[in-house]
Structure 1
């Protein structure tokens, strides 16, 4: 990071060995953990936490109050709405360390995760899929599928622009 070609707000915390792509903006009170790679032209909103070893593609928008925990990978052009929740352990207990049991989650190119949706670990979100606000994802979502509800269910299909078909 010789010549800074990205923006980091003064209140953001960036740990060691972080790669940040050109044109990316990281806003107030965000924390980027060690060994994270963030692509070009991303927007990381206020109060976002990104865990160790997370990979974020180009053109990703992560709105305020989101935690992207270790085990989550995000491809290019993904929109993550405010207060989206990711998990990384199926059966957490405060008194049992389960870091070796993290289940990976992949959010594929162009997907949208609506505000306050919850993504249970181990379930990938397909390319250009659309998850409605407040949904709880407990199963894999395929490319271009529209899911919403609690628990979320497939409600149809969307096109690349997010319009219901």
Structure 2
């Protein structure tokens, strides 16, 4: 049995699976298909021809641990999802997030509060996008990548599987760290290879390339290729991978 509020505004042709909960003031556009056991929290705005698969949770309010450094306890505004977007099985989209049109938020992905995602962007299976992030249009963020809080990713960026980003140089030890925290900034058309690690506050320049497994400890200039640990420009290395004398 479904639990659908009589205050929800649902287009007549919307298809809804079994055991789904739709709360007050939710709006769902025509042609949308909602799977089984989906929860859509109050006020969520869903566009036309959206697909939401089984067990997804849309518009969840954030929770804060007692010792969380983030102290904004006010209720977040409703989640908004653009036309023709696909939300995968068991994905969780928090309140305060805005998802563009024709996006894919794949199975098991999490998009936290205060996140914006541009049109035609892919958030892959198991990806975590933390709070206060901005992601542009036509990006591909692949399986199990981790986008840390306070990051900005511009348009047409490629992030390979298992990339890890970070935002706290003190690793949790500085009591004043919230004022110093900064995520990664990835400029337009940059690419980051599989299993790369980006340290806090680093900038990956426009059309730059970070090689697989690289550890980025300083900014990468526009158009440069960096590899290794710590990451260095490719021209600084010999063919064998050893430093030039």
TM-score with structure 1 setting the length: 0.89
Root-mean-square deviation over aligned CA pairs? 1.5
Q: Distance in 2 between matches of 1:152 and 1:25?
A: 31
**C-alpha offsets along residues 37-69 of structure 1, whole Å, 9 cap, x if unaligned?**
000111111111111110000001000111111
Residue 121 (1) aligns with residue 200 (2) = yes
Whether contact under 8 Å (2:141, 2:159) holds in the other structure is yes
Q: In the aligned structure 1, how far is the partner of 2:200 from the partner of 2:174?
A: 20
CA–CA separation in structure 2 for the residues paired with 1:97 and 1:8: 37
Question: What SS does the aligned partner of 2:204 have?
Answer: coil
The answer to whether structure 1 residue 52 and structure 2 residue 142 are counterparts is no
User: What residue is the counterpart of 2:93 in the other structure?
Assistant: 14
| Counterparts of residues 3-152 of structure 1 (less than 5 Å) | 3=47, 4=50, 5=83, 6-93=85-172, 98-152=177-231
Distance 1:104 1:95 in 2: 16
Aligned-residue offset at 1:99: 2.7
CA contact (8 A) 1:23 1:40 kept: yes
Quote the Cα distance in structure 2 between the aligned partners of 1:25 and 1:35: 18
Paired residues, what number? 156
Larger radius of gyration between Structure 1 and Structure 2: 2
Q: For structure 1, list consecutive stretches of 5 or more residues without a partner in the other structure.
A: 157-165
CA distance in 1, matches of 2:89, 2:175: 36
**Runs (5+) with no aligned partner, structure 2:** 1-44, 51-82, 236-245
CA contact (8 A) 2:147 2:165 kept: yes
Contact 1:92 1:98 in 2 (8 A): no
Distance 2:234 2:120 in 1: 31
Residue 159 of structure 1 corresponds to: none
Runs of 4+ with >4 A deviation: 94-97
Query: TM-score, normalising length from structure 2?
Result: 0.61
